[in-house]
Amino acid sequence: MIVGVPKESFPGERRVALTPAVVPNLLKAGFEVVLETGAGVEASYPDADYVGRGARILPERSEVFRTADVVVQVLCPGSNDRTGKADLPLLRRDQILIGFLRPLGSIETVQELAATGVTAFSVELMPRITRAQSMDVLSSMATICGYKAVLLAADTLPRLFPMLTTAAGTITPARVFIIGAGVAGLQAIATARRLGAVASAYDLRPSTKEQVQSLGGRFVELPIEAQDAQDARGYARAQDETFYRRQRELLGRVVAESDVVITAAVVPGRKPPVLVTREMVERMAPGSVIVDLAAEQGGNCELTRAKEVAVEGGVTLIGYINLASTVPYHASQMYARNISAFLIHLFRNGQLRFDSDDEITRETLVTRGGDVVNRRIREFFSLPAKVAQGNI
């Protein structure tokens, strides 16, 4: 099996799907690895490093697609809404595609991908089970986003983060409030604490309290209870508007007292809930900073502008997207480890295993044989159920 890695084409995307370090493991597992010229340069992985580990470099993008049995990307057609469609004619029937597909974004986009006949696996759909931890790309990228969000806030805030005792007096530490204690939120807490700030966090899932406290953060408890706060995959469930309205009322005081607010509340496949309103922003002190990690999906803050930095009433709102790409060396390293583990799981003796009893394969497979075959996606877009078969 030949694994091909084209250069990422989304504007500003600096990651690469495989790094030189994972090539020997893939070769040992029976794969060959080819890459487009310069595929890893933006992430500080030159072509020579790949060649030194046993990969081959091909001069043209089209040649990578033509040569590869398996195409591995970071942003595949679907997640790459700018240039991704240009790759569709390069895909061929029964070729395998692995990467971010944004499968719950647009059914038309998923169906366009299916029409190529490609067998596509979406890394966003990786189940959160013990066996799949080494393949959990979302957690890897969320870790980087949580870290980088705090650095952006620290760079923007007109205050120091740590408490300092100086000849000019004592400087009190910055107060950082994180809304959403998933992987990104927990990393934001850890990073804020390392920089010396006082960190607190809120999540509608009570089970996160212990995790927040283990990192030295204060868990903010509200006198409201979510219904079915967490789904079987470990993600927060969407709540009704009555719950969110009461939540905003109770969070208002904590937000107003914070120097930095980082929002990381995302519900897969749905518009993020608005947790920080215009009125809440107006109550924050001038110079305060909000970093909205849900900006690309619509934002947790009412005033967030995706891809932009805005200032409202002296409060800076950072709505950058694709933060993982701003740390391309380690983001690529983590992604490559996840993907190589996934490849080794999927293949045995050079053959792709279609095992309907394997949750990892079943949940991540999106398209096959010209059709959308993923049950979750078909239910999400109200497509008729497919007839169950002995294999996937």
The pLDDT assigned to 181 comes to 95
Pair (132, 153) in one structural domain? no
Provide the CATH number for the domain around residue 267.
3.40.50.720
Pair (211, 300) in one structural domain? yes
Domain with 125, as residue range(s), is 2-136+328-380
Pair (152, 243) in one structural domain? yes
The pLDDT assigned to 388 comes to 55
The pLDDT assigned to 392 comes to 59
The pLDDT assigned to 84 comes to 97
385 within a domain of the structure (yes/no): no
Pair (166, 284) in one structural domain? yes
What one-character DSSP code corresponds to residue 285? P
Beta bridge partners of 205: none
Measured distance between the N- and C-terminal CA atoms of the chain, rounded to whole angstroms: 21
Looking at 321, 352, 372, the residue that finishes a domain is 321
The pLDDT assigned to 389 comes to 52
Between 185 and 235, name the one with better pLDDT. Answer: 185
Asked if 200 contacts 219 with a C-beta cutoff of 8 angstroms, the reply is yes
The pLDDT assigned to 350 comes to 87
Is the pLDDT confidence value at 210 over 90? yes
Question: CA–CA separation, 111 vs 367, rounded Å?
Answer: 8
Q: Count Cβ neighbours within 10 Å for each residue of 132-166 and write b for 16 or more, e otherwise.
A: beebbbbbbbbbbbbbbbbbbbbebbebebeeeee
What is the average pLDDT value for the chain, to the nearest integer? 95
Mean pLDDT value across residues 14-43: 98
Pair (178, 280) in one structural domain? yes
Mean pLDDT value across residues 327-342: 98
Residues identified as active-site: 128, 133, 136, 139, 235
Mean pLDDT value across residues 118-140: 97
* Cβ-based neighbours of 159, under 8 Å, separated by 6 or more: 174, 259, 287
Looking at 303, 321, 339, the residue that finishes a domain is 321
Q: How far are the Cα atoms of 69, 301, 368 from residue 308, in angstroms, in the given order? A: 39, 13, 38
Question: CA–CA separation, 169 vs 229, rounded Å?
Answer: 45
* Cβ-based neighbours of 187, under 8 Å, separated by 6 or more: 142, 143, 144, 145, 146, 147
Mean pLDDT value across residues 72-76: 98
Phi, psi of 190 (to 5 degrees): -60, -40
Tally of domains within the chain: 2
Picking from 52-66, 125-139, 378-392, which range would have the lowest pLDDT averaged per residue? Answer: 378-392
* Cβ-based neighbours of 217, under 8 Å, separated by 6 or more: 178, 189, 193, 199, 200, 201
386 within a domain of the structure (yes/no): no
| Structure tokens that stand for 29 in this block | 């597992």
Is the pLDDT confidence value at 391 over 90? no
Mean pLDDT value across residues 290-306: 97
Mean pLDDT value across residues 107-116: 98
User: pLDDT tens digits for 142-168?
Assistant: 999 999 999 999 999 999 999 999 999
The pLDDT assigned to 243 comes to 86
The H or E element that residue 365 is part of is strand 365-368
